[in-house]
Structure 1
Amino acid sequence: MLVLLSWFCQAVFLVVVVYFALYVLLELRVFLISRKVERRKLTELAHSSADAETETARWPSVSVLLPIYNESEVVERLIDAVCRLRYPGELLEILVLDDSSDGTTELARVRVGQHAAQGVDIRLVKRLNRKGYKAGNLVNGIQQSRGEFFAIFDADFVPPTDFLLKTIPCFKDPKLGFLQTGVGYDNRDVSFLTRFQAMEMGHQQYVTVGLSEDGDMASLSGSSCVWRKVCVDTLGGWNASTVTEDVDLGYRAQFGEWKYAYLRNVVSMSMLPETMSAFRIQRERWGRGLIHSGFKHFKQMLSQRMPLIKRMHAMSVMFSSVLLASIYVLVLLSLPLTYLVHFDGAGMRWGAIAFFGLVVLWGLENAFGARRGARFDGKSNVLKDLWDTYRYIAMFLPMAWYYFAGGVRVLFGVYDDFHRTPKGKHGYRAIVPRINSTLLAGEIFTFLYSTATVWVALRSGNYFLIPLNVTVCVGFSMVLYWSWQDRRA
């Protein structure tokens, strides 16, 4: 029985290593493309948008959609920022799609009234219920809109005043269905938690530059973006069956042969979760939605006609969340592997060496892209940068737990359990969703489990997986410490 368990653990370990290797190589390819684009400073599309901005051709009508839910801290800032957008007034309408159940509604109503009195075409749209959550809110909004294009901003976003002037000209190509822009973060330097998030999202943005340039499939967010109405109507709008409705619609658009564009140099400012409860609940939801969307569209992706390299990139994008969740499987396997396998066979020994080598390569590439994407341009301190890079890599291990938990919930059919992500230092001030306690218990278990694995490794002299488990302890100790700080506050 122990022999069978040993072989099973080794097989799963090697499968994950091979999967990780393919992902790293594909990401490295896109990273090099992004570097080439960066040297040119702007993509050809960005150049064309800047040129088109000066043209006097007819501007299309645009509806700005602002889906909000209990966002009293940021809703006034959002409305003020959107009302400052430069665009022909007769062609612009702003719809505040309010699903709130607290004082946000009154704040929004007053602000909307103030701007409407100054001649801005802005309306507050209120539903009787939250059916379909954000997806349902957006569908309700577009049914009451008149624009040829939709610009969408979440409650914590502040777009630049020239956002529409730089993005709308890109849609001269009738096959361009949607466009994503860059995102910066006002509170990225509040703590290492916010800095990590800014770097992680910065890396995603940096890689998306290469995917866009190469014409590869990408996973794009649903805020600070512009959609062509015809594209949305053709696809049937946002689907409420998944909690990542934006990613789902983006996949359907790309499989429907609509083009997308990415303008990294058009930057809207946003805010990051500052508390561990808000962060862990957000990432579990993202993991659950991304894994669900990946498997939901897998068959459609296989039926598409595309070159092998583009199919591989599509699979890499769609199942990157599954890969992250599988890293947590390695953490769970580390104890039986340490106890049962002494890595004296060539396959396991070289598998372990390859895994750690890939982690180093991925970590360096990821951290470099993250700093570029997040625009961290301060003076460099080598020792501090190395320590921060190590902590940055370690933080992906708690994320692996959140994605693993989300994947398990998908297996049990939990697709639409939606919890908004509150921003700022207050986080969840009233009712914390129950999933938070489950995720916190998993963090405590994983920290103790990896500590025990290190002890077993030292006792048995089987040191191969100690770097993994020590890094697990570092990552989970950080999130547990931040949780303790939140509780004290």
Structure 2
Amino acid sequence: MIWQITILALYTLSLSIIFIFSIGQAYLIFSYLRSKRKTDVVPVMPPIIPFVTVQLPLFNELYVVERLIKSVCTLNYPKDKLEIQVLDDSTDLSLIETENIINKMKVLGFDIVHIKREKNTGFKAGALQFGLNIAKGEFIAIFDADFLPEKDFLKKLIPYFNQPNIGMVQSRWGHINNDYSLLTKIQAFGLDGHFTVEQTGRNKANLFMNFNGTAGIWRKQCITEAGGWQHDTLTEDLDLSYRAQLKGWEFTYVENVVTPAELPVESNALRSQQHRWTKGAIETSKKMIKEIWRADVGLKKKIFGTLHLMNSYVFIFVFITSILSVPVLVIKSYNEISPTYFNLMTFFLLGFIIITVFYIVASISKKENIKTFAKLYPMFLSVSMALSFHNSMAVLEGLFGFKSDFIRTPKFNITDLKQNFEENIYVKRILPKAFFLEFALFIYFAFGLISAFYFKDFALFPFHLMLFSGFGILTFYSFKHSLKKV
């Protein structure tokens, strides 16, 4: 009886914590919908056009560097007010390719400089700070190698710095290859939720929000006063965002300005990106939460800032809930626990409803039809829950201080369904370390599905079906992408 109570107590605790975070998402939905009742006033370009430095942090970007630089050089902005810094920490042949492209752009009259550090200290954060120290611009626009800014990007966003306390303006990410595979469709679906409901909801409710690492513009003074780019976490963008806002700077999110980018098409690339984002968020939470609660920013802002920075902990509780759901099914079948407990557990379905509404609102804002949502949402949930194991490991690494390098997400220049990445030199054709554990979990949740028929109890069947599907998808892509032919 003790082991049964222990399992149910831990199961209830995990569901309760997930529910608390879902309540936070409910408030963001409310804030987002309320903001849509108002018509945003689009500011106009100031009469004196400010000088802008565009920073392009690179590390071994052979396949996309030409696309990136040419895209930036088409920005509709006066050449005498534009500096382009190519912050190149590359260690491969892309250095030569980049140098050649830059020389061509210089001939066309662009103020573009190839900055190569002697030592790659601090990875991306170190490169950005190195460039910042010599940047000419009053404003700093940043684009990662997989982004393709629209020609009017600067002219649309610079006007939002119409108040001296505006420190950063962020655009929404778009996707140039979201239809490439199920993996890219799922990623786009999840990111669209963040870049519509969440970012807009935070910004309009005057809560802490974050620069997303790229496709945004900073006021140089804001970065400097906040302490500059620091590399003691893997999410230097999130870290700087909180330091800047705690200094009194305000951020603006512009949902209707979209900056297209390439989504990771390979499973190991997706995993490394998820690991960096998750672990970095935990590292930043350890660094900044005390500072949030010491600051004079109001209780609501403190609570939602804490939920924001600690959001990655949810992965652990999703994983615990998933693992314990099978023994909970067994415990329920033996009728040793009052049915009242299991009836009360249905209350936590409200959390699932909130998350569903969150993504419905995001889909409506993107003008997607209900059929698309009905196809993608279950798959998104399935893979997200399956990734909870991988991401839980990242949470624990961040929590217990295991340091790791900044591992870049390899870019492929994949924009067409007919393209593949068979010859890409950056692809690691190896099974991920978690492959066999994830395959074991695939079997485990198959057992959960079978148990529903054995015990004639189908209450958890949809949950186990999603977990079975999610781990099956991860296992399939991990195996497929480890082969030579992709």
**TM-score, normalisation: structure 2:** 0.90
Letter aligned with residue 324 of structure 1: F
Counterparts of 1:341-380 in structure 2 under 5 Å? 344-345=337-338, 348-363=341-356, 365-372=357-364, 375=366, 377=368, 379-380=369-370
- Aligned partner of 1:400 in structure 2 is 388
Q: How does 1:4-153 map to 2 (within 5 A)?
A: 5-40=3-38, 43-44=40-41, 47=42, 49=43, 52-53=44-45, 55-56=46-47, 58-153=48-143
Q: Name whichever of 147-156 and 170-179 sits farther off.
A: 170-179
Identity, % of aligned positions = 28
Supply the distance in 1 between the matched residues of 2:183 and 2:387 (Cα, whole angstroms): 12
Aligned residue identity for 1:345: S
Note if contact 2:238-2:281 (Cα within 8 Å) is conserved in structure 1: yes
Distance in 2 of aligned mates of 1:473 and 1:290: 28
Unaligned runs of 5+ in 1: none
Q: What is the deviation of 1:421?
A: 0.6
**1:298 and 1:445, CA in 2 relative to 1: closer, same or farther beyond 3 A?**
farther
Pairing of 1:222-237 with structure 2 (within 5 A): 222-237=213-228
Task: State the superposition RMSD in angstroms.
Answer: 2.4
- Superposed displacement of residue 367, structure 1: 2.6
In the alignment, residue 386 of structure 2 is paired with which amino acid?
A: P
User: 1:338: which partner in 2?
Assistant: 329
Deviation at 1:465, TM superposition (A): 3.4
Unaligned 5+ runs, structure 2: 413-419
**Residue 82 of structure 1 aligns to which amino acid in structure 2?**
V
C-alpha deviation, 1:319, in angstroms: 1.6
Corresponding pairs, count: 474
Q: Distance in 2 between matches of 1:318 and 1:367?
A: 21
Deviation at 1:177, TM superposition (A): 1.2
CA shift digits 1:177-205 (9 cap, x unpaired): 11111111100111121111111111001
The question of whether the paired residues in 1 share the 8 Å contact of 2:449 and 2:465 is answered with yes
Contact 1:181 1:264 in 2 (8 A): yes
Which whole-Å CA distance do the structure 1 matches of 2:8 and 2:226 have between them? 44
User: How far 1:208 moved relative to its partner?
Assistant: 1.0
Task: Say which is worse superposed, 71-80 or 419-428, in terms of deviation.
Answer: 419-428
Task: Map 1:402-481 to 2 at 5 A.
Answer: 402-424=390-412, 425-426=420-421, 429-430=424-425, 437-456=432-451, 458-460=453-455, 463-481=458-476
Asked if the contact 1:201–1:370 (Cα under 8 Å) also holds between the matched residues in 2, the reply is no
The residue that corresponds to 1:282 in the other structure is 273
Amino acid at match of 1:220: F
Residues 16-55 of structure 1 deviation map (CA, whole Å, 9 limit, x = unaligned):
2222222222212221322233354x534xx2x2xx22x4
Contact map agreement 2:75 2:154 (CA 8 A) in 1: yes
AA of the residue aligned to 2:150: P
| Contact kept in structure 2, 1:242 and 1:416, CA below 8 Å | no
**Does the Cα contact within 8 Å between 2:189 and 2:376 map onto a contact in 1?**
no
SS of the residue 1:262 aligns to: strand
Please identify which structure carries the higher helix content: 1
Query: Is 1:173 aligned to residue 163 of structure 2?
Result: yes
Letter in 2 for 1:421: T
Q: Check conservation: 1:339, 1:457, Cα contact below 8 A.
A: no
CA contact (8 A) 1:150 1:229 kept: yes
Give how far 1:368 is off: 1.6
Give the whole-Å Cα distance in 2 for the aligned partners of 1:65 and 1:368.
Answer: 35
SS at match of 1:160: coil
The residue number in structure 2 matching 1:312 is 303
- Which residue of structure 2 aligns with residue 240 of structure 1? 231
- Further displaced range: 140-149 or 178-187: 140-149
Which residues in structure 2 correspond to 1:150-169 (within 5 Å)?
150-169=140-159
Separation in 1, partners of 2:89, 2:364: 36
Q: Between 23-32 and 400-409, report the one with greater CA deviation.
A: 23-32
Residue among 474, 477, 480 paired with 1:485 = 480
* Structure 1 pair 387–321 and aligned structure 2 pair: CA distance change class (3 A): same
Q: Provide the C-alpha distance between the structure 2 equivalents of 1:199 and 1:39, rounded to a whole number of angstroms.
A: 24
Matched, 1:202 2:195: no
**Conserved? CA contact 1:61–1:146, under 8 Å:** yes
Q: Single out whichever of 270-279 and 413-422 deviates more from structure 2.
A: 413-422
Alignment of 1:206-217 (within 5 A): 206=196, 207-217=198-208
| 1:478 positional shift | 1.5
Could you tell me which residue of structure 2 aligns to residue 183 of structure 1?
A: 173
Structure 2: which amino acid aligns with 1:413? G
> Partners of 1:446 and 1:293 in 2: how far apart?
30
Residues 143-200 of structure 1: CA distance to partner in whole angstroms, max 9, x if unpaired? 2212111100000111111111121222231111111111111001111211111111
Decide whether the 8 Å contact of 1:71 with 1:155 is kept in 2. Answer: yes
Residues 6 and 341 of structure 1 are in contact (CA less than 8 Å); yes or no, is this contact kept in structure 2? no
